[in-house]
Amino acid sequence: MPITPATATHSSSNGTADAILLELVDENGVTIGTAEKLSAHQPPGQLHRAFSVFLFDERGRLLLQQRALGKYHSPGVWSNTCCGHPYPGEAPFAAAARRTYEELGVSPSLMAEAGTVRYNHPDPASGLVEQEYNHLFVGLVQAAPRPDPEEVAQTAFVSQAELTERHAQDTFSAWFMTVLDAARPAVRELTGPSAGW
């Protein structure tokens, strides 16, 4: 695995780990400051920049991930291909590509911007709040995922019909349907009418 800001060990001068910072934004997505990751998710939540990735195979099936059980936020739930937060000053596109590789061991063969969506989703299980200005990306993946077990418990490629069945049976992230619905126009353009998205 390549060494990146997310995988490197950071120590401050006193030997403690540095906090992960998120970019705080206003309602128009303009950067207004930074906050430590966990504090930004404490109720009522601070509006911060995020991204969500939806990758599809050649058959128009969406790559889902089940979040690792050890994650402090929404462990064990199913969600879109990849989601996360850019570092302050990092372009959302670059962050999306970086985290997709770090979590799933694949690089998209194509990735395009698919708009933004703003939402406020409390997570009843953890008590944390997703107050996000989310940059959406859709793309194609041609390699088999090689997930990092600390990030991802398992993956699955699903058609629209299979997703409907799975969504009725399994637990999904609080933000999943919001980001998928916002990305649907770009998903349909990418996958074509026969895929049914």
What are the pLDDT digits (tens) for 112-167? 999 999 999 998 878 889 999 999 999 999 999 999 999 999 999 999 999 999 99
Rg, Å, the chain Cα set: 16
Q: What percent of the chain has pLDDT over 70?
A: 91
Q: Phi/psi of residue 195, each to 5°?
A: -75, -20
- Average pLDDT over the chain reads 90
Residue 17: pLDDT band with limits 50, 70, 90: low
Q: Using alpha carbons only, what angle is made at residue 150 by residues 147 and 153, rounded to the nearest 5 degrees? A: 60
Q: Which of 23, 103, 130, 132 is catalytic?
A: 132
Question: Which one-letter amino acid corresponds to residue 6?
Answer: A
- Which token pair is 116? 């933004």
Active site residue 132: yes
Active site residue 83: yes
Q: Which of 83, 103, 130, 151 is catalytic?
A: 83
pLDDT value of residue 130? 93
Q: How many CB atoms lie within 10 A of CB 160?
A: 14
Distance of CA 193 to the CA centre of its chain: 25
Q: Rounded to whole angstroms, what are the CA distances from 98 to 13, 45, 103, 154?
A: 27, 25, 9, 19
Check pLDDT > 60 for residue 42: yes
Q: Which of 59, 78, 81, 60 is nearest to 68 (CA)?
A: 78
Three-state DSSP class for 53?
A: strand
pLDDT in tens, 57-77: 999 999 999 999 988 788 899
